[in-house]
Amino acid sequence: MSRDTYCTFTVCDYLFGVPVYEVQEIVRNLERTRVPLAPEAIDGLINLRGQIVPAIDVRHRLALPPRPEDIEPMNVIVKAGGEPVSLLVDEIGDVIEVDAAKFEEPPDTLLETGRDLIHGVMKLDSELMLLLNIDKCVCVTEATRSESR
C-alpha cells in the first residue's frame, strides 16, 4: 500500500497538507514589502536570501477571515512553475506519512472558492487534512483583485 508524505500546517484552525516534495523550505515571519495595486491576496514581497519572492495569504485565497494581529504568519516556500512563492499560513504542523487509501474527493457541497483550491481530503484518525492545490493557490491574477477603492 502506498504512503505519501505530507507537510502540514494550519490556517484558521483547518489542517492543510501539501506533498512534502513541493515544499522548498519553511521560514519564520519575514518582513514583507507591500505592493500597491497588487491583487489583495498578495501580502507583499519577501527577501529570501537575495531572492525576491511574493507572499500569498492563504487565508485570503480561501476567503477566510483575516489573520488576527497576534498570530505571526509562517512562510511555506513552495516551487510553483519554477518560481518560489511563499504561502502565508498560521502555524506549521508536522511532516506525516498518510496512507493513500485515506483519500477522498471533497464533498459536493464545498463552495466554489474552496473547490478550486482544495482538491481532496485525507481522513486522518483524529481529524481531516485538506489537500491544497498549490498551482491554483499561487495563481493570483488581476481578476482576483477586488476593487477596494
Partner 1 sequence: MTDFGDILKDFLVESYENLDQLDQDLVALESDPDDADRLASVFRTLHTIKGSAGFFGFEKLQAVAHAGENLLSRLRDGQMRLTPDINDLLLATADAIRTMLQTIEESGSDGENSYSELLRKLEEAYQAAPSSGGEASVAGEAPANTQSVEVSEAAPAPEDSTAPAEQPASPPDSSEGKGVRPTEGSARPVAENQPRKSSGKASHVSDSTIRVDVALLDKLMNLVGELVLARNQIVQFANTQSDPAFLNASQRLSLVTTELQEGVMKTRMQPIATIWNKLPRVVRDLARQCGKQVRLELHGKEVELDKSILETIKDPLTHLIRNAVDHGIESPEERTAAGKPAEGTLSLRAYHEGGQVNIEISDDGRGIDIDKVRRKAIERGLLTPDAAATAPDHQILQFIFHPGLSTAEKVTNVSGRGVGMDVVKTHIEKIGGSIEISTERGRGTTFRIKLPLTLAIIPALIVRTGGERMAIPQVSLLELVRVDPRDGKDRIEWVHNAPVYRLRGELLPIVYLSQVLGLEDNVRRSSDSVAYLVVLHAEGRRFGLVVDEIVDTQEIVVKPLARQLKHIPVFAGATIMGDGKVALILDAFGLARKVGLKGNGNATAAAPTRGSTGSNSRTVTVLLVALGPDKRAVIPLRFVSRLEDIAPGAFETAGEHTVIQYGDRLLPIVDLVRYGSGAASLSEREKAPVVVCNDGHRQVGLLVDRIVDIVEAEIRLHPLADDPIAAGAAVICGKVADVIDVERLFTSLPFDPTPVAA
Give the nearer residue to partner 1 in terms of CB position, either 17 or 54. 54
For residue 34 the three cell numbers come to 507591500
- The residue written with cell numbers 512534502 in the block is 20
Cβ proximity to partner 1, 55 vs 98, nearer residue: 55
- Dihedral sign, CA of 18, 21, 23, 26? positive
Shortest approach of partner 1 to residue 42 CB, angstroms?
Answer: 6
State how far the Cα of 44 lies from the Cα of 99, in Å rounded to an integer: 36
CB of 36 to partner 1, least distance (A): 4
Q: 119 or 145: whose CB is closer to partner 1?
A: 145
Angle formed at CA 27 by CA 56 and CA 13, multiple of 5 degrees: 60
Complex with partner 1: residue 41 or 130, whichever CB lies closer? 41
**Residue 140 Cβ vs partner 1, minimum distance, rounded to whole Å:** 5
CB of 145 to partner 1, least distance (A): 10
Rounded Cα distance between 98 and 111, Å, is 26
- The SS3 of residue 68 is coil
Provide the binding-site residues for partner 1, judged by CB under 8 A. Answer: 31-39, 42, 44-47, 50-54, 56, 81, 83, 85, 138-142, 148-149
